[in-house]
Amino acid sequence: MATIKDIANKLGISVSTVSKGLNGASDISEALRQTVLDTAVEIGYTTKKMKKEEHKKLCVFIENMDYETNNQFGYEIILGFKQAAYRDKWDITVLPINPTFQMQEKYDTYMLKNGYRGGFLLGFSLQDNWMSQLNSTTIPTVLFDNYIRKNPNVAYVGTDSFEGIDIAMEHLISLGHKKIAFLNGSPNSMVSEQRMQAYLDSLAAHNLTFNEKLTAYGYYVAESAKYHIPSFLAEGATAILCGNDLIASGAIMECSMHGFRVPEDISVIGFDDLPISAHLDPPLTTIRQNRVELGKCGYFALSGLINHVSISRTMLHAQYIERASTAPAKEHKKTV
Amino acid sequence: MATIKDIANKLGISVSTVSKGLNGASDISEALRQTVLDTAVEIGYTTKKMKKEEHKKLCVFIENMDYETNNQFGYEIILGFKQAAYRDKWDITVLPINPTFQMQEKYDTYMLKNGYRGGFLLGFSLQDNWMSQLNSTTIPTVLFDNYIRKNPNVAYVGTDSFEGIDIAMEHLISLGHKKIAFLNGSPNSMVSEQRMQAYLDSLAAHNLTFNEKLTAYGYYVAESAKYHIPSFLAEGATAILCGNDLIASGAIMECSMHGFRVPEDISVIGFDDLPISAHLDPPLTTIRQNRVELGKCGYFALSGLINHVSISRTMLHAQYIERASTAPAKEHKKTV
């Protein structure tokens, strides 16, 4: 259980200053107060004030996404959401769920019964039971990376996949790459579909011909690589764009197993910028999704819906992170 | 010049309560305090507190859009923006500008010189001088209905045109309409392009064949109607979807001039839901853009950018407003 002392040590300030921050005293700056609150949230310290106000409850539902440790995708999204929500004195519950859970009770029923004013849903699949119920939910609900048409109570937040893929493609094309393979994530994901479309749009925009053998859907895990990279190499790919950083880490390993050096022989680009990505060999060039900001946007959108501002979607800019996994194109005749 | 008494009269509360609201006294509810502030903004009353804090300045630039009176498109957008911004103690300047103004000084220079922390741009055209400068601006900037790719300092807010057009098309198709004409707004507008694409997508989704003679770009004014409606009628259109309510008002007039009754002989749907639309004959069925909410979202996005939350776009849900200008399809053989 974290204490005020832990916050003081982490920030290198006195316990009394921390307590001023937590209690909203007037004689410390707003900026410092918010830093104290953010740190309290980060290390899991909650004041009695935070614990009170039972009527102000939001629930974060999470599925198909790791979030417990700070190197996992969901961790910072939830952190950002909490940091923004606590400033408005919301009490947040984070609930990992699964399809069975969704069969047991309707979404609206669960929310009302438990007194939740709004929900933030992470990692849901298009087939999930609750997803179809969201077409008609009356509960303010924000989806990460999923979109529900025509329900004024539901908003979608995410990173602009089109912008992200286009930035990656432009970078590879500027390095002379023409045979750019795309190893996408799971097929049952809206984001995967967007990124595939973005890949096709980008090829067309740069007058590059589409080669079906240079694209594949896998899953958002490293293991996907071994099933598809060999055929990409056989097809003469000089660069591989990956649906996320985990796939990219698998791709780098798979390429070297086939005697292709990254980036000398073949370039690899990821998506997400997970903490591990800077420590891969070579360090991964990727497209950053700022997950703390995504979490904050999730809260801003939910707060809007709760206040009857009918937000449909909020997208964040994708950010290009150049490291060492890309280089100028090099034709290769090697067979695999 | 508005006074505290004006606010009290408008809200039917005492002057002392109003002054408590304006001065943030603790013994009135937050809800009432915000109502008082919103009303102060609405009738143009500003407290000394609002006038102070010179360092916290935002500028709203407006072009090609009427906003002075509450029946004009821009009025409520600016109202919503101010209502949200004043709660965070921003000082707002509203500045109508033109292309010449943009030639005289660079956007960033103007903002820095005048101490503006961020800008909200309404009604700009894709050809505007400042639009190209926004690709590289370092000033937090939010565009209404315009999108700048890949600049983390620029966000776009608007209503989901795809959702809006699709809702209108589904309504007409459910009434048996197959020959649906689309009289769009100005060609040099991103929103016009989106709405045309949405119209095409919707036709395809409902297996309706596209007939080029049933679409045209005009301008966002009533006069557009007389140049295009006759050919739509000659082509056998049974419904006309319009780029905005002004075009729709012209379309209704033009149809009746050619002996077509709305909605008995032909259906007409607008877009925006301007205050006049409910008073047209017949009252116009349309797609509402909630302009107060758009203004508030404009501020939320700008506030995000200023706080380094790199928002790319925020879209609002479109809302279907059924009135009396649509009816079941009726084939007509009349020639014009």
Tens-place pLDDT, residues A288-324: 999 999 999 999 999 999 988 899 999 999 999 999 9
- Determine which of B308, B310, B319, B321 to mutate to test the interface with A (most A C-beta atoms within 10 Å): B310
Tell me whether residue A330 is in a domain.
no
Q: Which domain holds residue A14?
A: 1-45
d(Cα B253, Cα B222) in Å, to the nearest integer?
Answer: 9
Answer whether residue B330 is part of any domain. no
Question: Taking residues B223-233, what's their average pLDDT?
Answer: 95
Has residue B325 been placed in a domain? no
Residue of B nearest to A168 (CA): B150
Per-residue confidence (pLDDT) for residue A327, from 0 to 100: 97
Which residues of chain A does B290 touch, with a Cβ-Cβ cutoff of 8 Å? 310
Beta-carbon neighbour count of residue B4 at 10 Å? 17
The verdict on A165 and A283 lying in the same domain is: yes
Distance CA A125, CA A190 (A): 9
Residue B324 lies in a domain: no
CB atoms within 10 A of CB A197: 13
Q: What is the pLDDT of residue A307?
A: 85
The confidence score (pLDDT) of residue B53 equals: 47
Q: Which of B312, B319, B320 would you mutate first to test chain A, the one with the most A CBs within 10 A?
A: B312
pLDDT computed for residue B309 by the predictor: 87
Identify the CA nearest to A208 among candidates A238, A183, A231. A238
Q: Are residues B282 and B172 in the same domain?
A: yes
What is the structure's pLDDT at B128? Answer: 92
Touching check for B56 and chain A: CB below 8 Å?
no
Is the preceding omega at residue A328 within 30 degrees of 0, hence cis?
no
Q: Is residue B328 part of a domain?
A: no
- Edge-to-edge strand list for the sheet holding B154-159: A91-96, A57-62, A116-122, A141-144, A154-159, A311-316, B311-316, B154-159, B141-144, B116-122, B57-62, B91-96
A187 and A301 fall within a common domain: no
Tell me if chain B has a CB within 8 Å of the CB of A315: yes
A11-37 burial, b if ≥16 CB within 10 A, otherwise e? bebeeebbebbbeeeeebeeeebebbb
How far does the CA of residue B310 sit from the closest CA of chain A (Å)? 6
What pLDDT sits at residue A262?
97
pLDDT 10s digits, A206-249: 999 999 999 999 988 899 999 999 999 999 999 999 999 999 99
Alpha helices in chain A (DSSP H): 4-11, 15-22, 30-42, 48-51, 73-87, 99-104, 107-113, 129-133, 161-174, 190-205, 224-234, 245-257, 291-306
Each residue's pLDDT expressed in tens, for chain A with a length of 336 residues: 788 899 898 888 888 888 888 887 778 887 788 788 778 777 777 666 555 545 689 999 999 999 999 889 999 999 999 999 988 889 999 999 999 999 988 999 898 888 899 999 999 988 899 999 999 999 999 999 998 988 999 999 999 999 999 999 999 999 999 999 999 998 878 899 999 999 999 999 999 999 999 999 998 889 999 999 999 999 999 999 999 999 999 999 999 999 999 999 999 999 999 999 999 999 999 999 999 999 999 999 999 999 888 999 999 999 999 999 999 998 876 555
User: CA nearest B162: which of B318, B336, B302, B3?
Assistant: B318
Asked if the Cβ–Cβ distance from B300 to A296 is below 8 Å, we say: no
Q: State residue B203's pLDDT score.
A: 97
Burial classification of residue A240, based on how many CB atoms lie within 10 Å of its CB (0-12 exposed, 13-18 middle, 19 or more buried):
buried
Instruction: Give residue-wise pLDDT tens across range B261-314.
Output: 999 999 999 999 999 999 999 999 999 999 999 999 999 999 999 988 899 999
Q: Give per-residue pLDDT as tens, B30-42.
A: 778 878 877 877 7
- Which whole-number Å values give the CA distances from A333 to A169, A235, A238, A330, B188, in the listed order? 23, 10, 11, 10, 48
Nearest residue on chain A to B161, judged by CA atoms? A312
- Whether the predicted pLDDT of B46 surpasses 70: no
CA distance B137 to chain A (A): 15
d(C-alpha A172, C-alpha A329), whole Å: 8
Q: Closest Cα of chain A to B292: distance in Å?
A: 9
When CB atoms are compared, the residue of A300, A312, A315 closest to B316 is A312
- Any idea of the CA torsion for B270, B275, B279, B285, to the nearest 10 degrees? 30
Mean pLDDT of chain B: 91
Phi, psi of B230 (to 5 degrees): -55, -45
State which of B288, B309, B330 marks the end of a domain. B288
* Interface contact B152-A312, CB threshold 8 A: no
Instruction: Return the CATH number at B219.
Output: 3.40.50.2300
On whether residue A325 sits in a domain, the answer given is: no
Q: Mind telling me how many Å the CA of A173 is from chain B's nearest CA?
A: 17
Nearest 5 degrees, angle CA B118-CA B73-CA B86? 40
Structure tokens at A37: 């609150």
**Which tokens hold the place of A313?**
């979607």
Domain identity same for B86 and B228? no
The chain-wide mean pLDDT, for chain A, equals 91
Chain B touched by A326 (CB under 8 Å) = no
Q: What is the Cα–Cα distance from B129 to A158, expressed in whole angstroms? A: 31
A interface test, pick of B300, B306, B308, B319 with most A CB neighbours within 10 Å: B300
Let me know whether A118 and A184 are in one domain: no
pLDDT per residue over B229-263, tens digit each? Answer: 999 999 999 999 999 999 999 999 999 999 999 99
Question: Which of B273, B309, B316, B319 is best to mutate for the A interface (most A CBs within 10 A)?
Answer: B309
3-class DSSP state of B134: coil
For residue B58, report the phi and psi dihedrals to the nearest 5 degrees.
-120, 150
Residue range B145-169: average pLDDT? 94
Number of other residues whose CB lies within 10 A of the CB of residue B250: 23
CA distance A76 to chain B (A): 14
How many distinct structural domains can be found in chain B? Answer: 3
A149 touching B (Cβ < 8 Å): yes
| For residue B332, pLDDT beyond 80 | no
Q: Do A313 and B312 touch (CB under 8 A)?
A: no
What is the predicted pLDDT for the residue at B20? 86
Residue B19, domain member (yes or no): yes
Give B119's strand partners: B59, B141
Single-letter code of the amino acid located at A169: M
Please judge whether B319 and A312 are an interchain contact, meaning their C-beta atoms are less than 8 angstroms apart.
Answer: no
**Do B311 and A316 lie within an 8 Å CB cutoff?**
yes
- Whole-angstrom Cα distance, residue B254 to residue B221? 13
B290 touches chain A (CB under 8 A): yes
Shared domain check, B209 and B113: no
pLDDT higher for A185 or B113?
A185
Q: What is the pLDDT of residue A52?
A: 53
- By the 8 A CB rule, do B184 and B195 touch? yes
Residue A180 φ then ψ, to 5°: -100, 115
pLDDT greater than 70 at residue B333 = no
- Residues of chain A in contact with residue B163, where contact means CB-CB under 8 angstroms, are 149-150, 312
State whether B72 and B10 are in the same domain.
Answer: no
Whole-number percent of chain B with pLDDT over 70: 96
Closest partner residue to A300 (CB to CB) among B160, B290, B300 is B300
Task: Say whether both A144 and A257 belong to one domain.
Answer: no
Q: Which residues of A touch B317 (CB under 8 A)?
A: 150-152, 310-312
Q: What is the per-residue pLDDT for B330?
A: 87
Q: Are A287 and A269 in contact (CB under 8 A)?
A: yes
Q: What is the largest CA-CA distance in chain A?
A: 70
A168 and A276 together in one domain: yes
CA distance A163 to chain B (A): 7
* Any A CB within 8 A of B296 CB: yes
pLDDT at residue B112, rounded to an integer = 86
Asked if the structure places residue A332 within a domain, the reply is no
Residues forming a β-bridge with A181: A240
For residue A16, the domain's CATH number is 1.10.260.40
Residues 159-218 of B with CB under 8 A from A: 160, 163, 166-167
* Residue A138, φ and ψ in degrees, nearest 5: -105, 0
Domain co-membership, A138 together with A225: no
Whether A75 and A128 map to the same domain: the answer is yes
The string over B260-272, giving b where at least 16 C-beta atoms fall within 10 Å of a residue's C-beta and e elsewhere, is bebbebbbbbbbb
Do B39 and B57 lie in one domain? The reply is no
Q: Give A150's contacts in chain B (Cβ within 8 Å).
A: 163, 167, 317
Instruction: Please spell the DSSP secondary structure of A207-266, one letter per residue.
Output: TPPP-GGGEEE--SSTTHHHHHHHHHHHTT-SEEEESSHHHHHHHHHHHHHTTPPTTTT-
